[in-house]
């Protein structure tokens, strides 16, 4: 076991010593970033909304034309890995050894990673994302593929300028999402978040937060909003499996205070998690 994994690493369902867990250098997952992945949060050994994550994984794999084992098999592997406790359950599906036949001799890697340190709030730099689908469709629309290089580069660029991460904007300055999280904000008591028509990732935390908003009586609106809409918000927050709901205290030069509706959504999200995993 290494500090990168709590519990065993499963490779195609077989427990492997983490220090020896490896995929082939001939795998197109490694060579071309061809494959897909998921990250779920395990709360005390129970993954939150595991079946929603598995459904998203199946959609990703279908787009990539990679066959997967039955959902019951994947669920069994995820539950075996997550039972070690709290952490981030990582699931990777590589493209395999034959670029002409995706999925050939591929590897499904599952392990539970310790949670990273989560700061109480984040500061975001605005970064243009010409690579983002931003409403356009392609073979891979909606897929959470292994090709996350541009997203990681945006995070690294934002950090080099003293921010924690990036807020990605597309053509016409439309606000999209973060490299590994969704964006939301509050204006006049209404929660806004970019709609899926921009082909942002179908974030499971964003969906759950919209449910929480409805539960606690916060009106919601989704759509295509430009940067000025975000910058004139009363509160801004990020949503993701790892961060849950977290206040944003800067978007570029514009500062924000962590606000009461963000706090209520964060609390409500915690309640939802407790209810579903407790």
Ligand X SMILES: Cc1ncc(COP(=O)(O)O)c(C=O)c1O
- Identify which of residues 68 and 204 has a Cβ nearer to ligand X in the complex: 204
Pairing label, strands 190-194, 46-47: unpaired
Residues between 38 and 67 that touch ligand X (CB under 6 A): 39
Least distance to ligand X from the beta carbon of 269, Å? 11
- For residues 160 to 199, the per-residue mask of contacts with ligand X, x marking binding by CB under 6 A and - elsewhere, is -----------------x--xxx-----------------
Q: Contact between 106 and ligand X (CB under 6 A)?
A: no
In a 13 Å sphere around the CA of 79, the CA atoms on its Cβ side amount to 9
- Identify which of residues 166 and 186 has a Cβ nearer to ligand X in the complex: 166
* Among residues 201, 213, 248, 272, the one that binds ligand X under rule CB under 6 A: 201
Q: Contact between 155 and ligand X (CB under 6 A)?
A: no
Least distance to ligand X from the beta carbon of 51, Å? 13
* Total of chain residues touching ligand X, rule CB under 6 A: 13
Least distance to ligand X from the beta carbon of 120, Å? 19
Least distance to ligand X from the beta carbon of 132, Å? 9
- Identify which of residues 122 and 201 has a Cβ nearer to ligand X in the complex: 201
Stretch binding ligand X (CB under 6 A), from 88-96, 189-197, 201-209, 247-255: 201-209
- For residues 222 to 251, the per-residue mask of contacts with ligand X, x marking binding by CB under 6 A and - elsewhere, is -----------------xxx----------
Least distance to ligand X from the beta carbon of 97, Å? 26
Read off φ and ψ for residue 246, nearest 5 degrees: -135, 135
Angle at CA of residue 190, ends 118 and 224, nearest 5° = 85
Using a 10 angstrom Cβ sphere, with 0-12 exposed, 13-18 middle and 19 or more buried, the burial of residue 278 is exposed
Q: Which residues bind ligand X (CB under 6 A)?
A: 39, 177, 180-182, 201, 203-206, 239-241
């Amino acid at each position: 076991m290494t500090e990168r994994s709590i519990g065993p690493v499963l490779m195609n369902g077989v427990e492997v010593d983490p220090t020896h867990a490896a995929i082939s250098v001939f795998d197109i997952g490694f060579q071309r970033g061809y494959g897909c992945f998921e990250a779920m949060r395990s709360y005390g050994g129970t993954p939150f909304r595991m079946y929603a994550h598995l459904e998203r994984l199946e959609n990703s794999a279908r787009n990539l034309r990679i066959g997967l084992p039955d959902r019951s098999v994947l669920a069994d592997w995820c539950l075996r890995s997550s039972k070690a406790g709290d952490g981030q359950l990582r699931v990777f599906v590589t493209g395999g050894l034959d670029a002409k036949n995706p999925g050939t001799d591929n590897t499904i890697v599952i392990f539970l990673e310790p949670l990273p340190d989560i700061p109480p709030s984040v500061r975001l730099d605005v970064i243009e994302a010409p690579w983002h689908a931003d409403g356009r469709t392609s073979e891979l629309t909606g897929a959470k593929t292994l090709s996350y290089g541009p997203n990681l580069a945006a995070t690294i660029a934002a950090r080099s300028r003293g921010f924690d991460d990036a807020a990605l904007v597309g053509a016409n300055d439309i606000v999209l999402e973060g490299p590994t999280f969704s964006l939301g904000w509050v204006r006049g008591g209404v929660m806004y978040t970019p709609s899926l028509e921009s082909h942002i990732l179908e974030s499971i935390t964003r969906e759950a937060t919209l449910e929480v908003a409805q539960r606690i009586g916060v009106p919601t609106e989704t759509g295509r909003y430009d940067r000025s809409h975000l910058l004139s918000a009363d509160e801004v927050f990020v949503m993701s499996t790892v961060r849950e709901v977290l206040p944003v205290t800067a978007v570029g030069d514009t500062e924000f205070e962590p606000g009461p509706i963000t706090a209520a959504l964060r609390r409500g999200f915690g309640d939802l998690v407790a209810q579903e995993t407790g």
